[in-house]
Structures are given as structure tokens and as C-alpha cells.
Amino acid sequence: ALRAVGAEVVICPTNVEFEDPRSYYMVAERLAKETPNSFYARQYWNPSNPEAHYLTTGPEIWEQTKGEIDVFVCSIGTGGTVSGISKYLREKSNGRVKIVGADPVGSIYYDLFYTGKMPKPHTYYVEGIGEDFMPTTMDMKSMDDIEQVNDRESFTMARRLVREEGLLCGGSCGSAVVGAIKWAQRQPKGDR
């Protein structure tokens, strides 16, 4: 999709340490230094990441649902989206809205959320979510629960969304939908 709109895509290995010059963090930093008029957003450490979701995405969700929302589920990566939206929705609802993260098997968040201990991450294929280190943009207290999802169910759901709903999306969107379904199946009926 990125190439289709003219972007140059640089593929990086995901099974290397953060400090490895081949990691996408280090490659992004290097490319920003080498490319004139470029900007490295530092999305994992930039407080503007969760703030942008507090100022824009959270209000958009609240307005589009007319405040009739009980649970918000999203895939978690940098933590900016879930942290910013959570702050906004909890303020608007006086803490009534539950916030649930969807995390790929292999990422650190699920185990960290439930044990408080940093687990050893392992490789997974869903892109753009999950993490193997703790970004400063992630507020673990922003979530009430985390649902773990695996690669197969994430990609299968992404294909279903294309086929059945006409929504062209990737594995991380599939993860969010699977996470929402799995979480909802264990809850009393009636939440929106």
C-alpha cells in the first residue's frame, strides 16, 4: 500500500535488538539524518503521540458515538493511541468507559500487564503493534484489560474484514477486532 502511493519502503528485520543498526528504530534514525528536509517523529518517546490522540482521536470517537460507548478496544504498539484515547474517554465518561488493549502473542504488554514483570519477547508476524521494550508513550494504567491475539487469528480476521465488510486493512486491525470479539464473549451482554 505504501509503495502504491509512492513511498520508498525499507524492510528491516524484526528479530534484532533495539540497538542493532539493522533494527527499524536505528534505520529510521539513520535515514532521517541522511535525508534532507526529513523528520524523525520518535513515536515511541514523543509525548505528542498520546497527546494527539487525546486531542483528536478520543474526541472523534466520543462525538461519533454520541457518548454511547462502554468499551474501547484497540491494538497496542507505541501506546500513544490507547493512552491518549483512554485519558479522553475516561475524563468524558467519569471513568465509565472500559479500555482494552489487543496485544500479539510474543509482545511484552500482556505479560507485563498481568505479572508486572518484563517477559522475554519472541517473534510474531503482525506488524505495527506489540513491542519488545517499554516505550515512554505507553501508560499501562490506561487499560483495564488486555486480550492476547495470535498471528493466525489476526490475519484471518483481516481477510474476513476485506471479504465481508469491504474494509481493506492489515493484521493489526484484525488483531483489534479479534481482541474485541474475544473480550466481549467473556462479558455480560449489552455493552457497546
Chunked into runs of 10 residues, the chain (192 residues) has average pLDDT values of: 91 83 92 94 95 98 97 97 98 97 97 95 90 94 98 97 96 97 92 90
To the question of pTM greater than 0.95 for the whole model, the response is no
pLDDT of residue 1: 80
Contact between residue 180 and residue 149 where contact means Cβ atoms under 8 Å apart: no
Give the per-residue pLDDT at 16: 80
- Residue-level pLDDT at 22: 94
Q: How far is Cα 133 from Cα 64, in angstroms, rounded to an integer?
A: 34
Listed in sequence order, the residues at least 6 apart from 61 whose beta carbon sits closer than 8 Å to its beta carbon are 69, 72, 85, 89
pLDDT tens digits for range 130-142: 998 999 999 999 9
Nearest alpha-carbon partner for 14 in 131, 112, 120: 131
Burial track 49-65 (b if 16+ CB lie within 10 A, e otherwise): bbeebbeebbeebbeee
